[in-house]
Amino acid sequence: EDQVTQSPEALRLQEGESSSLNCSYTVSGLRGLFWYRQDPGKGPEFLFTLYSAGEEKEKERLKATLTKKESFLHITAPKPEDSATYLCAVCTTSGTYKYIFGTGTRLKVLA
Amino acid sequence: DAGVIQSPRHEVTEMGQEVTLRCKPISGHNSLFWYRQTMMRGLELLIYFNNNVPIDDSGMPEDRFSAKMPNASFSTLKIQPSEPRDSAVYFCATRGGTDTQYFGPGTRLTVL
* β-pairing verdict for A45-50 and A84-92: unpaired
Q: For A31-83, how does the pLDDT look when each residue is reduced to its tens digit (9 = 90+)? A: 999 999 999 999 999 999 999 999 999 999 999 999 999 999 999 999 999 99
Q: Which of B99, B107, B109 to mutate to test the interface with A (most CBs of A within 10 A)?
A: B99
Residue B90 identity: Y
Q: For B15-61, how does the pLDDT look when each residue is reduced to its tens digit (9 = 90+)? A: 999 999 999 999 999 999 999 999 888 999 999 999 999 998 989 98
Q: Which of B101, B102, B108 sits opposite A99 (nearest CB)?
A: B101
Q: Which of A99, A100, A101, A106 to mutate to test the interface with B (most CBs of B within 10 A)?
A: A99
Yes or no: say if B100 and B94 are a contact pair by the CB < 8 Å rule: no
User: What is the nearest CA distance from B58 to chain A, expressed in angstroms?
Assistant: 11
Q: For A2-31, how does the pLDDT look when each residue is reduced to its tens digit (9 = 90+)? A: 899 999 999 999 999 999 999 999 988 899
DSSP reduced 3-state for B82 = coil
- Residues of A near B (Cβ–Cβ under 8 Å) read 31-32, 34, 36, 41-46, 49, 87, 89, 91, 95-99, 101-104
Q: Which of A30-34, B10-14, B95-99 is most confident?
A: B10-14
